[in-house]
Amino acid sequence: MFCPKCGLEFREGFEECAYCHIPLVEELPENFEENSEDADMSVTASVEMQGIDETEAKEEPEAAAPSKPFMTAAEKANDMKSSGTTLLFVSIVGFVFLILASVGALPIQIGGAGAFITYIVMGGLFLIFFISGVRSLKKVAQLEEDADREAAKAEEISKWFIENHTAYSIDLEIKEAQSEAETGGDEYFERIQIMKKHIQERFMDLDPQFLDFLIDEIYPEVFETEDL
């Protein structure tokens, strides 16, 4: 058995290339040519596959890079507002401190030959904080508008899905697919895949992380409600 992409040969019993994750074929096409990248990968893979049986190859897939947790636009707006407010507060307190220290109103005084430079550096730092805080708060309004649109979109998708799909219809679709393939799988995973398929067919170009967030919100509404 061969991988039609990288050309790596596998022993009998393998059905999928452990590196390209595509189905194997019995023979490579006559016009098959390895590019340099695939050739290097094939040599490396051949060495790594020595002594590895089918079970190990399936149980040890190539690790995927961890993805950042999804943040809703409302959460982003709250974070931005919190950051902007904090920066403004620190900058204002810093300016007050510098003014009071310069007029001798505080027991802590900055004196000596480098006092002027110290005031300039600290004042510049607090000015940067102030400008950053103002810019952050300016972005909050746009983020809040995005949050409203996102919430409306999420509500629209959730309402549509619940009105048009039930736990029974989804499970029935899974059973029909299993009957054709004569295989079974994890029920939760298969339900998620069916839900994603229907949502993507109706609402295209959704952000994958936003879609996962929606599924997590809709799933209990569909299945846990049915189980009660």
Q: Mean per-residue pLDDT for 19-45?
A: 62
CB 54 within 8 A of CB 13: yes
- List the structure tokens of 18: 């452990």
pTM exceeds 0.85: no
CB 221 within 8 A of CB 198: no
DSSP code for 205:
S
Average pLDDT, whole number, for the chain? 78
Burial (0-12, 13-18, 19+ Cβ within 10 Å), 23? exposed
Q: Mean per-residue pLDDT for 137-148?
A: 91
- List the structure tokens of 196: 């994603």
Name beta bridge partners: 9. 2
Burial (0-12, 13-18, 19+ Cβ within 10 Å), 184? exposed
111 pLDDT above the threshold of 70: no
| Phi/psi at 28 (5° precision) | -75, 145
To which residue do tokens 């020595």 refer? Answer: 50
- Give residue 67's pLDDT: 56
Residues 179-199 pLDDT 10s: 765 555 678 888 899 999 999
- Give residue 180's pLDDT: 61
**At a CB cut-off of 8 Å and minimum separation 6, what does 137 contact?**
80, 81, 84, 85, 88
Q: Mean per-residue pLDDT for 76-102?
A: 91
Residues 153-164 pLDDT 10s: 999 999 999 999
To which residue do tokens 């004569």 refer? Answer: 182
DSSP string, 77-109: HHHHHHHHHHHHHHHHHHHHHHHHHHTT-SS--
Higher pLDDT: 136 or 228? It is 136
